Structure 1
């Protein structure tokens, strides 16, 4: 699109932004975009909770991973594109709103996908989001000769994989399940292939902020689960001490996760494409774990209230400790290990194992996991003090 034509249409020429721009922050459009993901994440966490409580922990966890990949991948691709090429004109905004519509379609299909293995609605919602991104890459290709080769690679790669996603829903549930994983691999390979042509000019501090904001969205789900425990305690009058203890533990775990993640600034650590890919892709496990913490708290609530005849104490314990331990392991490997010293790292890993092993003592799981997470925060702070 020529500059003159773009100007007549009220558009800004799409080109790479300055990756060294000072005071770069998330835009109102990006914050608006994040809001619809609250709905999708909530649906995924709620269905994970119900699946575990109904005695289908294995299938529920697997379905959660599959749904969360669709949520995370669509969010991440938009985030990195916006960091590099956000024009904030009417066409860019419209394309973003189309993607938001796709998120809502996906969210509407989460229950059927996770409970009955019917992936049609989730697939169409996902494809809507991804095809909107194809349009953005084609617009970049038409506007910026320097980024044209990279943009065309992205557009071709994304569009080709979407054809495979759509083709999957023509087959049985078993075929859809097994073909999901090759499609996932192809999706994550597209940026690696495309960026080899020319790296996109994303802003490291802006990326770090956007990831931090998504962590806050996920933590909101955990706080909601704690609030539900408090409300149930006040309304029922039964199991009052246990429910209050669970609510306090939920708040403490959410605060501990927040403290561990926000213990430093990460923008300066994103200097190369290799670091960028490691940071971006590893957050899938981190985000999924934080999102699952709320489900773990709700499962513990069901066990305490006797709301499910299929739920065992061991299953409920692992539903809470596995996501917390997974988060701690990834946040250490990705963000902490080079900044808190060897001794602090060793203590942190021991506490991570303690969180997981606390599930072997169902009566003390919540207290043990919470205590270990709180002690991990203390270790991180001591490690930072020594490092300074």
Structure 2
């Protein structure tokens, strides 16, 4: 995902961006097959979190999923930074990355009962993940002092997670919430400019993670239908869930929005790029992932009983998931200078205002259809608005 030839050179405060360098002088850094394999564990993590929320769709269950996703995503995203700094091109690196993958698999396995006894295994697997990450980063050519500071802070997080696993219940939730809160402070306590970030690989990897997350909503279609006899109504519900996923995919990628993000990020100096990476790709994508998990949770019930009205919590999960995704996506687009913004915010509000009553008063199928219609209107309006100036410019060009 290197900016294509012919794009303008970006200068930011006297810093010549990576995007301005000739392609021959700047080798492309692509996502490796092992990283894609590593991401398969995250598919399972998202599935486990969705299943946990579906079985405990109440404030307590939602709070637990909020915290578990935050704690897991923090270190998972840290491994994206790691492979950006040192691609897994040697056997020792690959072996250590597979060890980290095993740690994430154990974490995923413990998700359903993390607050009922499995939190101990979650915590110690988390310690393993932190140790592998810190040890590998120490060999990545980054300042040892910066890596040591980062490792210490991540170990404090891990200690809070381990302690919570032993104590369980409300105390566990409080300690894991404290670990979540510490994550907001970590970027300000670490010397971020020491970590040189390659924009092409970084943006591409996060885009692939989002595609994996969308896959969870597709999986929810099959889980919701189960072994039920396939009817026209079930097929219609399945197609509508798929259409919602396509709409969110378009909202994220759109007109090469990922390429435009690469270009924007590459035009910044190390300090600004890294701070923005934390805001957009850690916090921002945490909200996007949470939106997808909520959508998948609601979609399971909607597909299972498309002609019935939904419980408020289930209809709310579906509506809030789509609205949260659109709102977070709009905030990200605003930061990197993409437009328009207002249609997506209006769409998010409309999904909340119309989707919830459709699901609870008419049927699950009605909420799905209404959501698809709103996404089509919002994204279609943006497409027409983007094409209109181009058509006007084309008409203004004199013909010989």
Structure-2-length-normalised TM-score: 0.80
Residue in 1 that maps onto 2:53: 48
Secondary structure of the residue aligned to 1:236 is coil
**Residue 313 in structure 1 maps to residue 311 in structure 2:** yes
Q: 1:81 to 1:380 in 2, by over 3 A?
A: farther
**2:325: which partner in 1?**
327
Partner residue of 1:189?
185
Give the structure-1-normalised TM-score: 0.82
Which residue is 1:267 aligned to?
262
- 1:316 CA drift (Å): 2.1
Structure 1: segments with no counterpart, 5+ residues: 1-17
The structure-2 alpha-carbon separation of the partners of 1:66 and 1:160, relative to structure 1 and needing over 3 Å to count, comes to: closer
Q: Name the CA shift for 1:279/1:326 in 2 (closer, same or farther; >3 Å).
A: same
User: Shift of residue 231 of structure 1?
Assistant: 6.1
Q: Judge which range, 346-355 or 92-101, deviates more.
A: 346-355
Is the contact made by 1:219 and 1:290 (CA closer than 8 Å) also made in structure 2? yes
What is the aligned partner in structure 1 of residue 301 from structure 2?
Answer: 299
Per the alignment, residue 39 of structure 1 pairs with 44
2:356 is aligned with 1:356: no
Question: 1:14 matched to which residue of 2?
Answer: none
Partner Cα separation in structure 2 for residue 383 and residue 103 of structure 1: 44
Residues 253 and 361 of structure 1: CA distance in aligned 2, closer, same or farther (over 3 Å): same
Could you tell me which residue of structure 2 aligns to residue 217 of structure 1? Answer: 212
Change (3 A) 1:305 1:355: closer
Answer whether contact 1:252 1:374 (CA < 8 A) is retained: no
Distance across 1 between alignment mates of 2:56 and 2:117: 12
Q: Quote how far apart the aligned CAs of 1:303 are.
A: 4.4
The aligned counterpart of 1:288 is 290
Residue of structure 2 in register with 1:243 after alignment: 234
Distance 1:375-1:195 versus aligned 2 partners, 3 A rule: farther
Q: Look up the match of 1:136.
A: 136
- Cα RMSD between the aligned structures? 2.5
Shift of residue 168, structure 1, vs aligned partner: 2.6
256-265 vs 359-368, which moves further: 359-368
The answer (yes or no) to whether the contact 2:247–2:376 under 8 Å persists in 1 is: yes
Q: CA deviation at 1:83?
A: 0.8
Matched residue SS, 2:167: coil
Matched, 1:176 2:172: yes
Tell me the distance in 1 between the aligned counterparts of 2:122 and 2:59: 20
> Runs of 5+ in structure 2 lacking a partner?
1-17, 391-400
Deviation of 1:122 after TM superposition, in Å, equals 2.2
CA gap of 1:334–1:383, structure 2 versus 1, over 3 A, is farther
Shift of 1:383: 4.2
Distance in 1 (CA, whole Å) between partners of 2:124 and 2:153 is 18
Question: CA, structure 1 residues 43+305, in 2 after alignment: closer, same or farther (shift >3 Å)?
Answer: farther
SS in 1 for 2:205: helix
Q: Decide which of 144, 147, 154 is 2:150's aligned counterpart.
A: 154
2:171, 2:225 → 1: CA distance?
Answer: 43
- Offset of residue 90 of structure 1: 2.1
- 8 A Cα contact 2:214 2:245, kept in partner: yes
Other-structure match for 2:13: none
Q: Residue 130 of structure 1: CA displacement?
A: 1.4
Name the residue aligned to 1:340: 339
Q: Which residue of 2 aligns with 1:89?
A: 90
Q: Distance in 2 between matches of 1:207 and 1:37?
A: 17
Cα distance change, pair 195–380 in 1 and its aligned pair in 2 (3 A):
farther
1:43-122 matched pairs, under 5 angstroms: 43-52=48-57, 57-86=58-87, 88-113=89-114, 116=116, 118-122=118-122
